[in-house]
Chain A
Amino acid sequence: QVQVVQSGAEVKKPGASVKVSCKTFGYSFTSYYIHWLRQAPGQGLEWMGLIIPNGGSTSYAQKFQGRVTMTSDTSTSTVYMELYSLRSEDTAVYYCARERRLRHFDYLFAFWGQGTPVTVSS
């Protein structure tokens, strides 16, 4: 069955960068788009962007343009999200989520990773 497993918690200082991984199992990795979202403590959900694993094309939310990079490794069925120039407001749980339908931009998040807490603190 479909599984999405993320890397572990991170603690970073302001100005640093963080790279979170998202390894997928149980389906054709190149056939479904992967999204990244985040959730600040006690807050709602925020969409950050998506990657098409086959070819690596990306689309980022305007808020994160220039500060985020999403990449994919088809050999390990893993996608990565790197966020730069971290500030305290980036403290959040970061999620990757697989699109619902094969090769569709539905922006429907059907399978989620368990989340990666990132804490930014001096």
Chain B
Amino acid sequence: EVVLTQSPGTLSLSPGERATLSCRASQSVGSDLAWYQQKLGQAPRLLIYDASNRATGIPARFRGSGSGTDFTLIISTVEPEDFAVYYCQQHNNRPPIIFGQGTRLDIK
């Protein structure tokens, strides 16, 4: 079973800065990697799928990259509404469906 490890656990930034979040898989997942954003008290929101494709309505400041075992989510210029927890997820079309433990993006 794949294990997804996200780093850092918490990232403290100011609005306007660049955020770089990492997700590492214990074995290759190809490009079957998604990213979700979850704000406090809300359901998650799909941001990125297939490692680099933005979901409908997601702003261009969110960019995903990577393949195999190493993936990155970059927020080019953090906006106030971007402070949340971010999860990666492998979606290789069969269970078990695995999520990372999350990275919290905090206001510095």
Contacts and interface: CB of A to CB of B under 8 A. Distances in A.
B83 interface: no
B97 A44 contact: no
A59 B93 CA distance: 12
Nearest to A47: B97
Interface stretch (A73-81, A83-91, A103-111): A103-111
B55 interface: yes
Given A44-B87, A45-B44, A115-B43, A110 B97 contact: no
Interface in A87-122: 95, 97, 100, 105-110, 112-115
Contact of B96 (A47, A100, A113): A47
Contacts of B100: 44
Contacts of A107: 89, 91-95, 97
B85 to A, nearest CB: 9
Nearest to B102: A44
Interface in B13-51: 34, 36, 43-46, 49
B59 to A, nearest CB: 17
A105 B97 CA distance: 12
A46 interface: yes
Given A44-B101, A115-B43, A106 B91 contact: yes
A110 B55 contact: yes
Nearest to A6: B43
B43 A95 contact: yes
A27 B91 CA distance: 23
A114 B43 contact: yes
Nearest to A107: B91
Contact of B44 (A62, A100, A105, A109): A109
B99 interface: yes
